[in-house]
Chains A and B, each alone.
Chain A
């Protein structure tokens, strides 16, 4: 099946710093989503981005489908950005295959 790899697995940031999270996938996809899992365990949709670039406030994402990767940018990080970021790609019938996540800790 399709493989989804996220890097780095763990990241510690000083508040105000910028960071980039990467998602590589092993096959062509029709759907790619980025999620943020907050400390309470809730999964929050960040981006639905099978290709191109999108921005939402301090977050932006870019997917280069032909090269099979996606990037999530966090600018001017805040402590509320802490949590786990998941990349997930479609495997048919809109089923998602998840990566293992990027654990992000933002310290004040």
Chain B
């Protein structure tokens, strides 16, 4: 059971380049999330999804787009990378209340370290 898998693990981009981070989960979770972690700070929510075909903005959505075309995958896109987007990105997933009857813990991937020069 792989859990939550993020690809790639590391990436270096130049300012203005675009890229997509992939998150895949094999636990049949309805909910998926993208967070970023900057030095000395906790994780901050970028975007999230409560089901296939749905997405919503989190705390820090500017400069990012997401898509959830399949239940098991959640993609995070940077259309024009900026140095301020240098960060470690974490994907997470969880069951919904509808699936389990109550809130359930989130499970995290190992992170993607992204540097933008």
Residue of A nearest to B58 (CB): A95
Q: A41 with B111: in contact, given A93-B50, A98-B42 (CB under 8 Å)?
A: yes
Q: Are B107 and A93 in contact (CB under 8 A)?
A: no
A73 within 8 A of partner (CB) = no
Q: Are A41 and B110 in contact (CB under 8 A)?
A: yes
Bound together, the chains give a CA A30 to CA B103 distance in angstroms of 7
Q: A95 with B105: in contact, given A41-B88, A43-B90, A101-B42 (CB under 8 Å)?
A: no
Q: Are B106 and A96 in contact (CB under 8 A)?
A: yes
The winner among B44, B45, B106, B110 for most chain A CB atoms within 10 A is B106
A86 within 8 A of partner (CB) = yes
B48 within 8 A of partner (CB) = yes
B31 within 8 A of partner (CB) = yes
Q: Are B31 and A94 in contact (CB under 8 A)?
A: yes
Bound together, the chains give a CA A80 to CA B99 distance in angstroms of 35
Q: A93 with B110: in contact, given A43-B90, A98-B43, A100-B40 (CB under 8 Å)?
A: no
Number of interface residues of B (CB under 8 A): 29
Bound together, the chains give a CA A99 to CA B111 distance in angstroms of 18
Which residues of B lie under 8 Å from residue A50 when comparing CB positions?
A: 103
Q: Are A31 and B103 in contact (CB under 8 A)?
A: yes
Residue of A nearest to B50 (CB): A93
Q: Are B111 and A95 in contact (CB under 8 A)?
A: no
Residue of B nearest to A84 (CB): B42
B108 within 8 A of partner (CB) = yes
Which residues of A lie under 8 Å from residue B105 when comparing CB positions?
A: 31, 33, 45, 48
Cβ contact of A100, chosen from B42, B94, B106, B111, cutoff 8 A: B42
Q: Are B42 and A86 in contact (CB under 8 A)?
A: yes
Which residues of B lie under 8 Å from residue A86 when comparing CB positions?
A: 42-43
A-B contact pairs, 30 of them (CB 8 A): A1-B59, A33-B105, A33-B106, A43-B108, A43-B111, A45-B105, A45-B107, A45-B108, A48-B105, A86-B42, A86-B43, A88-B106, A93-B31, A93-B48, A93-B50, A93-B56, A94-B96, A94-B103, A94-B106, A95-B33, A95-B58, A96-B43, A96-B92, A96-B106, A97-B45, A98-B42, A98-B43, A100-B41, A100-B42, A101-B42
